[in-house]
Structure 1
């Protein structure tokens, strides 16, 4: 659907309670409008004066947010090279990871919560960082002997240095397999600092404003569930380790990316009459509506779209994604696909005596947002859960209207009542008709 701008203080008005017609609404005398849906031209019923007075205009958009720290952590956690590294661990049967804002929710649902603190890097060195692992001692009772304070202690009291040293020695022995595993991963000089039962009042200190990685794995026929927290420089060090992993040699070439948020056929005549200020409705995917964008939904209910890398009009790498304000998350496995038109598929072409009307020819129009170019080796490492930050917010992004790989116009997202549309900024055929 296209809404023609009135070029006044209020560009246009739309009844939010009425279904918008699928076609073109052009300016007409009085309160009448014409609608075009496909080749046929049908007149839309006149709108009442009351509905015109109650109509709403274009509203600003406010999608949900993914915190920058969570996006940063996800780029490390969902790197395919990390999975290849984990596969080298002896006895590891399966594992599942997710990134959350912090570990409070995980800790609060544990029966006997404890936090293992490890030190990575040389003692007192600039490259060192702490690593915190939250576990349930109810599932790992053998570690309870090294945890401080005792589970039934009314309050924490200062232990003698001999007792602290003994607990540290015991925890070092019990966690020796974990330390060896971290050492095999390439982390420098891992060592156990302590195992503590954090009091609720103390739990905010080490986890505040810091994302956590929830990890569930089956190791040596034993299920392990934990939450891991480390500072941002820790993720940088892990990334450096991943870069040392062997990967197939590929040319250093960046592949352009796009975020496809809608697609629909439009007649040549429709494209030819589009002008700056017109608004296209019902061209975006169903999840893209103004209600979803303005109510601040949870990340699991984000707007769904398709990310693509490659040249328009050719085979491209596609992935189903969930879109947030300045990023999108890959939600399914990536695939290579190409749209094949019916003519090249060998379908028969029916001929008639009717005169040919080129203006009725429908063209597949895709609505795309330019994202970021990624190197080929990084594309091969993408996994579901990987977060890619957008250069600009979705609400501020310029959309391309793409037909068979060619850009025929530009637009921007606008909200019209409960519907989301694309307002035309510029059409390429202003200097001539669509070819």
Structure 2
């Protein structure tokens, strides 16, 4: 509602509460009619130019003229309601509010237009107004939700991880091979010694909340083994140092290195429907996929999977420019 009022009317600092903030000494009741729907709103006439003097005039003979003047002074309110879709609203009357001995909880709201602040509280409102407001807000939310649901979220398979100190990472060059970085099950899958291997699949950007699940992965497909859950990217199996109390030189700091393969990017709407048992086709056969080397969300290079004896390793084919200052 706040975003709608800001976009349509230039309103800021919109707030709703149960405490009436209208000054009792300057309170007046505006009665409105929209078709057959009635509403009464308590306002502070001191916040509206000219209304205080009009309300102060209580002579019965001047009643028709007073109401006509009030309708003119409240024309900005009528135009604002028209901009929100309430066509044909009439200002029926503006009367001084009766003194209140006890200020009961109510539906109160406050907002600003430019530097001017306005306080109000609803005294009475027919259901037709509320139905129209609910429909208005729903129409604003639907396009936003539709656009969000169509946003494609990148996905990736995490095929291995290990710790490497800063000195070792700085020394990496194109053509180097990193060994002992993938689990035995993954090595057996690439060697065709088993039909599939469990891996973690992740959707989302680094440093944000991400959707995670364990999947049973073959060379071409992955089947979710569990319902995905949301979490931050804080998981890493190996400790960064032997003891947090032991001083370590910067060059000897251990950094978590993860090996990732890009997988299916999916719209938000489809991600929200993922459940255990869903089968997804990989965009590239696993043995042919490019491997990304990532530490703390930063890509330091790319590689390809290679077999070295009984080991499965990653041969570096491209290093990110300037990675030497890790």
Taking structure 2 as the reference length, the TM-score comes to 0.50
More strand by share: 2
**Larger Rg belongs to:** 2
Taking structure 1 as the reference length, the TM-score comes to 0.38
Q: Taking CA–CA contacts closer than 8 Å with sequence separation of 6 or more, which of the two structures ends up with the larger relative contact order? A: 1
More helix by share: 2
